[in-house]
Amino acid sequence: MKEQLLKIFQDHQGEYISGEKISQELGCSRTAVWKHIEELRKNGYQLDSAPRKGYRMVMRANGIHTHEIKQYLTTKFLGRELTYFDATESTQQIAHKLAQDGAEEGHVVVANEQTKGKGRLGRVWHSRSNTSISMSMILRPPLPPQKTPQLTLLAAVAVVQAIKKNTGLQCEIKWPNDILLKGKKLVGILTEMQADPDLVHSVIIGIGLNVNQTSEDFGEDIAHLATSLHLEKDGASGEPVDRARLIADILLEFEELYEEYLENGFQSIRPLWESYSISVGTYIYARMIKDVIYGYAKGITDDGVLLVEDESGKTHHIYSADIEI
Ligand code: BTN
C-alpha cells in the first residue's frame, strides 16, 4: 500500500491530491489514507495538507525500505524478493543464511546500516546509516565455480552504468572490483560463493556504495582515500542522491548484463568492462600476500584473470591482488 501511495505522489509531483482521489486509487477508506500518510511522515517524508486540496509531497525521505525501492524497480526477477534491515551486522552474512535456507535466485538483502560490514581480504567495511548503500544479491548461476569471478566484473559494470545514469558521474573500475571516482574509492564489491568442487549452489554479490556522506563522515584517516557521490556531484551543494532509485537501477543494469552473460558468455561484457577500467593498458604493481609483481597489465582473460607482463617478458596470471597504479 505504501508503495502505491508513494507512486501516486511521484506521478503528481508538486501537486495536491485530494484524500478522496487517493482513497479511490488505493481502494481504501479516507481514514486508511490518513493513517498511511501519517506512516509516511513517520518515515521521514514531508507532506503538506491543505483543506479542500488534499496532500502534497514536499520532500522525499531518501529511505531504502522495500516499498521505496520497489516503486522504481523494473526488473524481472532481481530484487522482486527484498529483505530490508534498518541495521544489521552484514547483509552478506544474512544473504548466505537465506541462500542456505533455500532462497531463490534474485533475492536481495538491503540494509540502511551495517555494524560489521565485510570487506575483501578480511577487511572491515564501514557503512553508516542513512548515507550509504549496503546490499547483497543471491544468484544461482548454472556455472562451474571457476567462472564466478566474472560475475564481480559484471557487477562493477552494472554499478558504473547505474551511477552514470543517476548522477552523470563517470567512475572507473580498478581490477578486480573497486570502483573509483577521481582516484578515490566509492564502491566495494565482494563476491562469495557456496559450492562443491564442480557445482555452484549460490553466489552472493555484496555491494557497498558511498552515496550521501559528507567529508566529516569519512574522518581524517580515510578522507584522502574515499569519496561519495554527493561529495563529487556539484561539490555536495545539490540534493542528496536518491538511494532507492540508485539501488533499483543497479539491479536493472545487473539483471540485463547477467541475462546477456548467461546467453552469450563473457565476450559481450568484456569490452564494456575494459572501457571503464583504469587497470589495463598501463603499468601496475600487483600486491599479493607473499609477492609483488610490477609490469604492464595487458588485459583480462575471459575468466576475469588479470594478465601482467613483467620486465623479462613473462606473463603472470593474477587471480587476486591489490592493484597500485
Ligand atoms: C571491498 O573490500 O572493497 C569490498 C566491500 C564490500 C562491502 C559490501 S557492503 C554489502 C555487503 N555486506 C558486507 O558485509 N560486505 C558487502
Nine cell digits for residue 53: 486540496
The CB of 117 under 6 Å from ligand 1? The reply is: yes
C-alpha gyration radius of the chain: 22
Segment 120-144 mean pLDDT: 93
Q: Where are the domains of the chain?
A: 2-59, 66-275, 279-324
- Output the average pLDDT for the chain: 92
**Statement: residue 235 has pLDDT above 80:** no
- CA-CA distance, 43 to 264, in Å (whole number)? 43
Q: Which residues contact 99 (CB under 8 A, 6 or more apart)?
A: 107, 138, 194, 201, 202, 204
pLDDT at 209: 97
pLDDT at 264: 93
**Statement: residue 75 has pLDDT above 80:** yes
Question: Please, which pLDDT band fits residue 102 given cuts at 50, 70 and 90?
Answer: very high
**Statement: residue 147 has pLDDT above 90:** no
Q: Is residue 308 within a helix (H) or strand (E), and if so which, with residue range?
A: strand 306-309
Q: Work out which ligand 1 atom sits closest to the CA atom of 118.
A: 14
- CATH code of 66-275, in short, is 3.30.930.10
Sign of the Cα torsion 178, 180, 183, 184 reads negative
Q: Which range, of 46-60, 158-172, 177-191, 198-212, averages the lowest pLDDT?
A: 46-60
Residue among 64, 123, 125 whose CB has most ligand 1 atoms within 8 A, to mutate: 125
The CB of 321 under 6 Å from ligand 1? The reply is: no
pLDDT at 314: 97
Q: Which range, of 9-13, 67-71, 101-105, 132-136, averages the lowest pLDDT?
A: 9-13
pLDDT at 6: 86
Nearest CA to ligand 1 atom 9: 208
Residue tagged 544461482 (cell numbers): 140
Among the listed residues 137, 108, 39, 55, the one whose alpha carbon sits nearest the alpha carbon of residue 47:
55
Segment 83-90 mean pLDDT: 95
The CB of 116 under 6 Å from ligand 1? The reply is: no
105-135 burial, b for 16+ CB within 10 Å, e for fewer?
A: bbbbbbbbbbeebbebeeeebbbeebbbbbb
The CB of 88 under 6 Å from ligand 1? The reply is: no
What does residue 255 show for φ and ψ, rounded to 5 degrees?
Answer: -60, -45
The CB of 213 under 6 Å from ligand 1? The reply is: no
- CATH code of 279-324, in short, is 2.30.30.100
Nearest CA to ligand 1 atom 16: 206
**Long-range CB contacts for residues 315-321, cutoff 8 Å, separation at least 24:** 316/286, 318/286, 318/288, 318/293, 319/149, 320/176, 320/288, 321/286, 321/287, 321/288, 321/293
Q: Which range, of 4-13, 107-116, 239-248, averages the lowest pLDDT?
A: 4-13
**Statement: residue 104 has pLDDT above 90:** yes
Is 279-324 in the same CATH topology as 66-275? no
Q: Which fold has domain 2-59?
A: Arc Repressor Mutant, subunit A (1.10.10)
pLDDT at 26: 92
**Statement: residue 234 has pLDDT above 80:** no
The CB of 134 under 6 Å from ligand 1? The reply is: yes
Percentage with pLDDT > 90 across the chain: 71
pLDDT at 176: 84
153 alpha carbon – ligand 1 mean position (Å) = 15
The CB of 120 under 6 Å from ligand 1? The reply is: yes
Instruction: Specify the amino acid at residue 197.
Output: P
- CA-CA distance, 311 to 186, in Å (whole number)? 32
117 alpha carbon – ligand 1 mean position (Å) = 6
Nine cell digits for residue 138: 543471491
Question: Please, which pLDDT band fits residue 59 given cuts at 50, 70 and 90?
Answer: confident
Q: Is residue 184 within a helix (H) or strand (E), and if so which, with residue range?
A: strand 184-196
**Long-range CB contacts for residues 286-290, cutoff 8 Å, separation at least 24:** 286/316, 286/318, 286/321, 286/322, 286/323, 287/321, 287/322, 287/323, 287/324, 288/318, 288/320, 288/321
ipTM computed for the complex: 0.99
pLDDT at 255: 98
Angle at 222 between CA 124 and CA 118, to 5 degrees: 10
The CB of 191 under 6 Å from ligand 1? The reply is: no
pLDDT at 160: 98
Higher pLDDT, 43 or 255: 255
